[in-house]
Amino acid sequence: MTGIAAIVVTFHTGRPLKDCLHALAAQTEIGALVIVDNGNPQDMRDWLARFAARTPKAQLISTGENLGFGRAVNLGAAASSADQLLIINPDCVLRPDALGALVQASKDRRSPTLVGGRIFDIYGQNQRGPMRRELTVGRLVSKLVGGAGVNMPLVPQPAEPIAVDVTSGAFFLIDAAGYRQLGGFDEDYFLHVEDIDLCKRVHLAGGEVIYQPRAGALHYGATSDVSSGFVERHKARGFARYLRKHSSGVFSRLLAECVIPLVFMALMARAWLADRFGR
């Protein structure tokens, strides 16, 4: 098979998953739609089975448990023989013209080529994830205390595709050969930060990470039926793995080990506030 395969991993996503899948099924450029059920309520499992049965391009993989995001994406990628992979969150609804823009931006570039696009919320406001600088200890601390951190300015938006250090894992296109070359997502990340790690490894492999402003998707965000503590705990573990994995030199590693407990405390405090006060 050639063409594009879309890979969607879902865990207690809720209603936005249906919008996501219907939008992908309508894209004629997508030859395969691989849905990895990482554990959903029975009513959603039943709906997914019916959707896959009536959608010729859809393939449903049920894991029986939550394998973690990266591991589940890798499982979906292994089930496809497409030339390119569209990896998209289950709470993202791709605009009809987005895929063509992603493909256009990926042409004539070095493999691995990873191209992300603009994500916006239900009010049409752009979200920051797609244009970020490389994650460092200093930028992580800056972000946690309310600074710019890794974020690049949202305004003005570039008119053409630009190279970035990191783009969002909410949705992106990557050549399948490059994805296999990288070994896919690092499965030691359970949830969060695996996209930052993948972008880092694309650069280390001599590839390119591109932001395409003309490719857009609605990103509902925070739709999974899990606690803030669950999310922030895995985010903290993801940051810890990234800093330990990519810190070089004795001083950098020592600094990372000093910062990791602070990151954990800050994120768990944020989770407590969110669960208690709805912030």
**CA–CA distance, 116 with 96 (Å, rounded to integer):** 15
pLDDT in tens, 233-261: 999 999 999 999 999 889 999 999 999 99
Angle at 127 between CA 67 and CA 17, to 5 degrees: 40
> With 50 as the cut, is the pLDDT of residue 1 above it?
no
3-class DSSP state of 111 = coil
3-class DSSP state of 171 = strand
Q: What percent of the chain has pLDDT over 70?
A: 97
pLDDT in tens, 79-120: 999 999 999 999 999 999 999 999 999 999 999 999 999 999
pTM of model > 0.85: yes
pLDDT in tens, 152-203: 988 899 999 999 999 999 999 999 999 999 999 999 999 999 999 999 999 9
- Nearest Cα neighbor of 1 from 25, 24, 30, 35 is 30
> With 90 as the cut, is the pLDDT of residue 204 above it?
yes
**CA–CA distance, 178 with 132 (Å, rounded to integer):** 21
> With 70 as the cut, is the pLDDT of residue 18 above it?
yes
Cβ burial of 223 (10 Å; 0-12, 13-18, 19+) is middle
Peptide bond into 90 cis (omega under 30): no
